[in-house]
Structures are given as C-alpha cells and as structure tokens.
Amino acid sequence: MPPKPILCPTCKKAVDPTSGDFPFCSDRCRLLDLGKWASGDYRIASPILDPELLEEVEQAQLDAERRREGREKS
C-alpha cells in the first residue's frame, strides 16, 4: 500500500516531504499560516483552573464586548 500523501495545511495540495518548505507546499502558504498566528486567528486553548483568574478573564471579555458595542453605536 503506498503511503498517504501529506497535505499542505493551508491549501491542501500534496507536499513533497523533502521540500524545504515542508510541511507547507510553498513559502506563500508558510507566510499565510504565520500571518494567521500573528493576527490571533489561531489560538492554543487551555483550561483555566484558578477560579479568581477565571473571573478576571470573564470580566475582561465582558468589558471588551461593552467597548465594542459602544463604538458600534457611535
């Protein structure tokens, strides 16, 4: 059975494992992926176990939503 092709995580084209851009098919796809990390499109989530910290995070999210809503009304 032939090995399964490895696909570029950005455009889903087959990737040569010996390529210098591996695991991406091109430098363009590598830069697009980097841009998503830099802009915050990708996140690594972890559970918040400290109840005080959880309250702070929830309050910060509520405050950010209120600020956004205030800007939209202006």
Convert the pLDDT of each residue in 48-67 to its tens digit: 777 888 888 889 999 988 88
Convert the pLDDT of each residue in 2-46 to its tens digit: 788 899 999 999 999 888 999 999 999 999 999 999 998 888 877
CA distances from 12 to 9, 22, 65, 73 (A): 6, 13, 35, 41
Structural domain containing residue 22: 6-73
Mean pLDDT of 68-74: 73
Q: Does residue 1 lie within any of the structural domains?
A: no
**Residue 15, token pair as written in the block:** 């990737």
Number of domains in the chain: 1
User: Is residue 15 packed enough to be buried (19+ CB in 10 Å), middle (13-18) or exposed (0-12)?
Assistant: buried
Contact 39, 32 (CB under 8 A): no
Q: Does residue 12 lie within any of the structural domains?
A: yes
Q: Does residue 54 lie within any of the structural domains?
A: yes
CATH code assigned at 46: 3.30.50.10
Q: Does residue 59 lie within any of the structural domains?
A: yes
